[in-house]
């Protein structure tokens, strides 16, 4: 329905045209036509929503471990998850992070304002064996050369933190598995660390590396100094926890740091939405097939 304003201009839809005014001029446009989405387009939209909801949980948890992330991190993480799904041999509706290759998450950095290649000159080594045991090593020769943050003007310490986090999007929880921080001052050293914790089977495990900074106070204590342009962080490794990784012993050193935390991910709802669209399309095809069969039967009866 269209109306006239005080200046005599028409606003609204008339027949197949839309009237509006801009800067005192009357503008007439063709009314937009309804757009019918194909099944493939609809499924792609739902799967993007699946990737987005999973990225939202990961970002929320990761931001409690690191000092800074760039403003584009969420969108980049959603795209990385979407790539993991897209390049899977599984069809839409049968794939999520629990059954796809996670290679597109390896090396993902949370803060591109402080890329590792700029603030940390040495390449760390991170290995995961068949039992899910992690070994980390980083050789620091000269902190003044190996860390961009170090300066003779700063009374500072660099903290290198390695953390492992488990995510289960279908059962809707995450769990802190292990974490260790090593502080580097002006003396070079080699960092070596192993984590042999039990991992919850069926979960997705992220090994996270992050840099943190501390400055000496006048009482010779060190206080956290958040430096976004130096606070690099990223995923060293992403892998699926198998049954063999879940029961390696009951010794205290095998137990995860914390109990699972319930967290809604909407993953199951998104997968149900996808299956609903698939079933709806299948019903349409069956109905069309039945109508076509009935039509051929009527034509056959009429000819006899």
Segment 185-234, tens digit of pLDDT:
666 678 999 999 999 999 999 999 999 988 877 666 777 788 899 999 99
Rounded CA-CA distance 236/7 in Å is 64
Q: Are 201 and 246 in contact (CB under 8 A)?
A: yes
Number of CB atoms found within 10 A of residue 1's CB: 6
Reduced to 3 states (helix: H, G, I; strand: E, B; else coil), residue 204 is strand
| Domain presence at residue 195 | yes
Rounded distance between C-alpha atoms, residue 68 and residue 149, angstroms: 15
Contact between 44 and 38 (Cβ < 8 Å)? no
| 129 in a structural domain | yes
Total domains in the chain come to 2
Q: Residues 256, 151: one domain?
A: yes
Q: Is residue 244 one of the residues assigned to a domain?
A: yes
**Are 141 and 175 within one domain?**
yes
- Whether residue 74 sits in one domain with residue 153: yes
Whether 87 and 6 share a structural domain: no
- Contact status, residue 100 vs residue 80, Cβ threshold 8 Å: no
Closest CA to 166 of 102, 235, 241, 236: 241
**Cα–Cα distance, 257 to 145 (Å, whole number):** 34
**Domain of 16, in residue numbers:** 1-34
Q: Give me the tens of pLDDT residue by residue for the chain, a chain 304 residues long.
A: 556 666 666 666 666 666 677 666 766 676 665 546 687 888 888 889 999 999 999 999 999 999 999 999 999 999 999 999 999 998 988 899 999 999 999 999 999 999 999 999 889 999 999 999 999 999 988 888 888 887 766 677 889 999 999 999 999 999 999 999 998 866 667 899 999 999 999 999 999 999 998 887 766 677 778 889 999 999 999 999 999 999 998 999 999 999 999 998 888 888 888 888 888 888 887 777 777 766 666 666 666 5
Q: How far is CA 85 from CA 24, 73, 235, in A?
A: 50, 18, 18
Read off the pLDDT of residues 129-167 as tens digits, 9 standing for 90 and up.
999 999 999 998 888 888 888 776 667 788 999 999 999
- Clarify whether residues 30 and 129 are in a common domain: no
Is residue 8 within 8 A of residue 21, CB to CB? The reply is no
CA distance 286 to 166: 43
- Cα dihedral value 226, 228, 232, 235, nearest 10: 100
- Which residue carries 């000092």 as its tokens? 67
Q: Report pTM.
A: 0.80
What is the separation, in whole angstroms, between the first and last Cα of the chain? 54
Q: Are 206 and 167 contacting, i.e. CB atoms less than 8 angstroms apart? A: yes
Residue 170 DSSP code: T
């Amino acid at each position: 329905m269209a109306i006239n304003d005080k200046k005599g201009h028409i606003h609204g839809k008339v027949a197949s045209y839309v009237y509006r005014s801009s800067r005192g001029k009357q503008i007439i446009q063709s009314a937009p036509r309804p757009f019918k989405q194909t099944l493939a387009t609809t499924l792609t939209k739902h799967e993007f929503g699946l990737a987005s909801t999973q990225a939202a949980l990961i970002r929320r948890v990761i931001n409690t471990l690191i000092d800074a992330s760039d403003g584009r991190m969420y969108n980049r993480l959603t795209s990385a998850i979407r790539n993991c799904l897209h390049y899977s041999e599984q069809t839409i509706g049968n794939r999520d992070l629990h059954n796809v290759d996670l290679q597109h998450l390896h090396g993902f950095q949370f803060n591109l304002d402080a890329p590792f290649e700029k603030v940390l000159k040495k390449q760390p080594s991170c290995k995961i064996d068949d039992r899910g045991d992690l070994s980390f090593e980083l050789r620091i020769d000269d902190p003044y050369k190996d860390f961009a943050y170090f300066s003779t003007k700063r009374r500072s310490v660099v903290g290198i933190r390695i953390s492992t986090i488990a995510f289960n999007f279908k059962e809707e929880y995450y769990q802190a598995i292990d974490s260790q921080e090593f502080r580097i001052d002006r003396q070079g050293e080699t960092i070596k660390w192993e984590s042999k914790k039990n991992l919850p089977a069926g979960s997705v495990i992220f090994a996270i590396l992050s840099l943190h900074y501390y400055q000496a106070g006048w009482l010779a204590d060190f206080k956290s100094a958040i430096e976004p342009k130096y606070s690099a962080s990223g995923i060293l490794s992403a892998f699926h926890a198998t049954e063999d990784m879940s029961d390696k012993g009951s010794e205290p050193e095998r137990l995860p740091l914390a109990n699972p935390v319930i967290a809604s991910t909407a993953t199951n709802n998104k997968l149900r939405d996808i299956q609903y669209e698939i079933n709806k399309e299948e019903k349409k095809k069956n109905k069309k097939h039945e109508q076509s069969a009935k039509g051929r039967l009527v034509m056959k009866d009429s000819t006899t």
